[in-house]
Amino acid sequence: MSLFDRFIKPLVDRPDLPHLAASAPTAVATAEPRRYRLDTLGQVCPFPLVEAKQAIAQIDSGDELVIDFDCTQATDSIPNWAASAGHEVTEFNATGDASWTITVKKA
């Protein structure tokens, strides 16, 4: 399964928003930002971070990327990368004993 097999659908279920596929997303003018989910559960570090970098490059500024992961090193590496790249971490929650979700708003 490739990165884009897991990163294809906006979190909001609206038919007027594009689904991100292996090709570049189609721009849609909306007043509100879009949220995309990236599932990296089961992947070892550094792959959650590598895929997050690739995924955020495919979305528009102001849109959010919600990353699900269970790699403990990513609890440091993803927020540090987001801050150093100028992106904003808007949410960061534990979703289980050893799994987390982090939302990064693209700068």
Give the domain range for residue 44.
Answer: 3-10+33-105
Is residue 24 situated within a structural domain?
A: no
Is residue 17 situated within a structural domain?
A: no
Active-site annotation, residues: 45
Q: How many residues does the chain have?
A: 107
pTM: 0.73
Is residue 42 situated within a structural domain?
A: yes
What are the tens digits of pLDDT across the range 14-68? 444 444 433 343 344 456 889 999 999 999 999 999 999 999 999 999 999 999 9
Is residue 20 situated within a structural domain?
A: no
What CATH number does the domain containing 92 carry?
A: 3.30.110.40
Is residue 66 situated within a structural domain?
A: yes
pLDDT tops 80 at residue 100: yes
Count up the domains in the chain and report the number.
Answer: 1
The whole-number pLDDT of residue 7 equals 54
